[in-house]
Amino acid sequence: MRVIVVGAGEVGFDVARLLAAEQHDVVVVDVDQARLKEVQDRLDVMTIFGSGTSAEVLGDCGVRRADMLIAVTNIDEVNIIACMMADRLDVPTTIARVRTNELSARSSVLSASDFGIDLLIHPEESAAAEVTRLIRRASATDVLMFCDGRLQLVGMRIDRESPVIGKSLRELALANQDLTFRIMGISRGIRTILPGGDEVLRANDQIFVMARPKELSPVAEVFGKRESRMHHVMILGGTKVGARVAQHLGQDKNRRVKLIESGREQAQSLAEELKDVLVIHGDATDIDLMATEGLGEMDAFVAVTDDEESNLVSCLMAKHLGVRKTVGLLSKAAYIPLSQTIGLDAAVSKKLAVAREVMRFLRGKHVLSVETVHGLDAEILEIEAAPRAPVTYKPLKELKLPDGVLISAVMHEDDGVEIATGNTHIEPGDRAIVFVLPRQIGEAEAFFDKK
């Protein structure tokens, strides 16, 4: 597949990296020579200097042979026009990153399709939604929704005092037969494990548990985690992500939210907009200010400024002062694995939202969504079983699934949802949640496609 990526910033670089890793023919376009040089030095892709809104530049990229154009610059208008140009030049699929919801809101005069855009991606909105879920689910390091919200995948770290250390997954299942859950993945050091029943849990393992939302609190207690409500939350940064998180959390009953923003005009604007939030004008690096405003008394602290180093340092300071849950907005690849090692509870990345949507388009049409989580070197596919697909032939225990493929849950056509067991039988049209190691993605898809 030939893919043109317009924009060589952090998001564009990450998208190009993912595409190149899957052996696609990638062309990266940007007006910044320094960014293009970094892409060229680090990735096996072609680079073109120029604007993605220029028909001549797109021609140099081989646009008439392209299967997809992904516009992810920092300017919404450039992304929209680049997709319009690509659509007029008969590129089959166009994807645009936009910060505004002008094209996606129900009341919008124009829609994405009016501009020839197949998919709009709102990384800031996705990041804000993830932060909100993490604050509402106090014990989690990651929270993902599946099957229209009826199943959740929750990441948890096994503490040194956890009662499950030294126990196998089979022992845990037998001891908790009244609960329906399944451990789908384990991140142990640099290893990703899709575990079997004999796998034994260790201290510092990061586990990923699939369960129904109403059962997550008792499931968390099995692993020594207590779900306590975050009544007092401080947010650092009045960015689009910070403002959206404040808006979401401020609507919750019995929750008090403070937001600190360094820009005077932005702080004033947010104070007028967020009626349920206390907005404070102050420097994001002023630790004394945050301490004066009660940082040490907070249940949760969220750092979502545009300065990742400030996010990291302020979260560590909050943890040092006894804040129970810290969440930082981080995108640099080096910071994310480091963050939890040095004490952050959760890291959120805007880049992941773009990567997930792009990867869904690269999969077959029967792949409904693609998710990834920090620390787990596996993709999570929501995939529909085609008629006569091999996965529909027998119950799961009688199928010879490839190594590195684990089916976690199934949403049946009659709308029933179940955590997968050996007796589960997938029928044509059913949707399954499948954990797949990168090297087995092709085999996993083949199992759900018709022969």
Which domain CATH number covers 358?
3.30.70.1450
- Ranges of H-type helices in 294-341: 308-320, 335-341
| H helix and E strand count, the chain | 14, 22
137 has a pLDDT exceeding 90: no
The total of structural domains in the chain comes to 4
Return the CATH number at 329.
3.40.50.720
State the pLDDT at residue 111. Answer: 75
What's the mean pLDDT in 333-356? 71
Full strand arrangement of the beta sheet holding 93-97: 46-49, 25-30, 2-6, 68-71, 93-97, 119-121
Is 375 found in the same domain as 282? no
Is 358 found in the same domain as 303? no
Is 80 found in the same domain as 7? yes
Per-residue pLDDT of 254-295, as tens digits, reads 899 999 999 999 999 999 999 999 999 988 778 888 888 999
Cβ 168 vs Cβ 174: under 8 Å: no
- Determine, yes or no, domain membership for 133: no
State the pLDDT at residue 414. Answer: 78
Is 375 found in the same domain as 345? no
Determine the Cα–Cα distance for residues 73 and 70; give it in Å rounded to an integer: 9
Is 174 found in the same domain as 65? no
75 burial type by CB count under 10 A (0-12 exposed, 13-18 middle, 19+ buried) = middle
Per-residue pLDDT of 195-234, as tens digits, reads 988 999 999 898 999 999 888 889 999 998 876 778 999 9
Determine the Cα–Cα distance for residues 197 and 16; give it in Å rounded to an integer: 37
Identify the residue with better confidence: 184 or 149: 184
- Determine, yes or no, domain membership for 372: yes
Judging by DSSP bridges, how do beta strands 206-211 and 151-157 pair with one another? antiparallel
The residue count of the chain comes to 451
Residue type, 398: E
- Determine, yes or no, domain membership for 129: no
Is 314 found in the same domain as 242? yes
Among 17-26, 162-171, 376-385, which range has the highest average pLDDT? 162-171
- Determine, yes or no, domain membership for 414: yes
- The parent domain of residue 361 ranges over 353-448
Q: Which of 105, 249, 91, 225 is nearest to 156 (CA)?
A: 225
Contacting residues for 336 by C-beta, under 8 A, at least 6 apart: 330, 347, 349, 374, 375
Is 152 found in the same domain as 73? no
Q: List phi, psi (to 5°) of 246.
A: -60, -40
**Residue ending a domain, choose from 199, 222, 245:** 222
Determine the Cα–Cα distance for residues 392 and 446; give it in Å rounded to an integer: 12
Determine the Cα–Cα distance for residues 283 and 260; give it in Å rounded to an integer: 8
Is 303 found in the same domain as 238? yes
Cβ 125 vs Cβ 101: under 8 Å: yes
Among residues of the chain, what percentage have pLDDT more than 70?
93
Contacting residues for 330 by C-beta, under 8 A, at least 6 apart: 308, 311, 312, 336, 339, 347, 348, 349
What's the mean pLDDT in 140-157? 84
Is 244 found in the same domain as 197? no
- Determine, yes or no, domain membership for 132: no
Which tokens go with 441?
């993605």
- Determine, yes or no, domain membership for 6: yes
- Determine, yes or no, domain membership for 131: no
CB atoms under 10 Å from CB of 178, counted, come to 7
**Residue ending a domain, choose from 159, 187, 222:** 222
Q: For the CA atoms of 391, 397, 399, 400, what is the dihedral angle to 10 degrees?
A: 130
Per-residue pLDDT of 122-136, as tens digits, reads 888 888 988 998 898
377 burial type by CB count under 10 A (0-12 exposed, 13-18 middle, 19+ buried) = middle
Per-residue pLDDT of 298-344, as tens digits, reads 999 999 999 988 898 899 899 888 998 999 998 776 666 666 666 67
Is 87 found in the same domain as 198? no
pLDDT band with cut points at 50, 70 and 90 for residue 105? low
Compute CA 378 distance to the chain's CA centroid, rounded to the nearest angstrom. Answer: 13
Going from the C-alpha of 183 to that of each of 167, 173, 417, 420, the distances in angstroms are 13, 10, 17, 11
**Residue ending a domain, choose from 121, 148, 170:** 121
49-53, 110-114, 240-244, 393-397: the lowest-pLDDT one: 110-114
Q: Is 248 helix (H, G, I), strand (E, B) or coil?
A: helix
Cβ 413 vs Cβ 385: under 8 Å: no
Is 389 found in the same domain as 357? yes
pLDDT band with cut points at 50, 70 and 90 for residue 107? low
Q: How many Cα atoms are found within 13 Å in the side-chain-facing hemisphere of 84?
A: 12
Is 358 found in the same domain as 343? no
Determine the Cα–Cα distance for residues 8 and 30; give it in Å rounded to an integer: 6
Cβ 391 vs Cβ 365: under 8 Å: no
What's the mean pLDDT in 410-417? 84
- Determine, yes or no, domain membership for 303: yes
